[in-house]
Amino acid sequence: MSVMMKNIFTGAVCGLCLVLAGCSASEQAQPNTATESASSNSSQTAETEKDQTPMIIDVRTPEEFATGHVAGAVNFDVNDAEFQNQVKDLDKSAAYVLYCRSGNRAEGAKGYLESIGFTDVKNLGSVQDASQELGLDVVVDK
């Protein structure tokens, strides 16, 4: 940061301090409900976003999964007989994102999940599409 920028910043901070110092004691004693409300809403939003972090499900075969998958994904092969058992006890109101090689199997899995009561399921298409959409790397387990 240049010396001139530091001086401008310091001047702005000092000016703000003078403005704030000029407030009367009675004004300072009054709660700023807008700020408190915004802070409270921000906390609630952060909790909601955390609660809504989707579970990432790769619906390809284990062999395909091993060649590269989105970081953090679990592998539930939609064409395996165990798929229904793997998903039946998941929280139906939680958020889920699905992907496969092209998006076709993920779309079928999405339809099945919705048919058994899941309410927040999204098909992200291919591995590459899901990686890009989620901002996560494609990884290979070693």
Is 22 part of any domain?
Answer: no
Cβ-contact 97, 54 below 8 angstroms: yes
Is 30 part of any domain?
Answer: no
pLDDT per position as a tens digit, 36-72: 444 444 444 444 444 579 999 999 999 999 999 999 9
Of all residues in the chain, the percent with pLDDT exceeding 90 is: 61
Is 62 part of any domain?
Answer: yes
For position 52, what pLDDT does the model report? Answer: 72
Q: What's the CA gap between 65 and 140, in Å, rounded?
A: 8
Higher pLDDT, 41 or 124: 124
Is 37 part of any domain?
Answer: no
For position 98, what pLDDT does the model report? Answer: 98
Global confidence as pTM: 0.65
For position 14, what pLDDT does the model report? Answer: 41
For position 129, what pLDDT does the model report? Answer: 98
pLDDT over 90 at 16, yes or no: no
Q: What's the CA gap between 39 and 104, in Å, rounded?
A: 43
Is 87 part of any domain?
Answer: yes
CATH number at residue 94: 3.40.250.10
Q: Of 76, 103, 108, whose CA–CA distance to 89 is shortest?
A: 76
88: tokens are 């039946």
**What type of residue sits at position 38?**
A
pLDDT over 60 at 103, yes or no: yes
Residue 124, domain extent: 55-137
Cβ-contact 78, 101 below 8 angstroms: no
Is 5 part of any domain?
Answer: no
For position 57, what pLDDT does the model report? Answer: 98
Is 68 part of any domain?
Answer: yes
Is 93 part of any domain?
Answer: yes
Higher pLDDT, 18 or 43: 43
* Number of domains present in the structure of the chain: 1
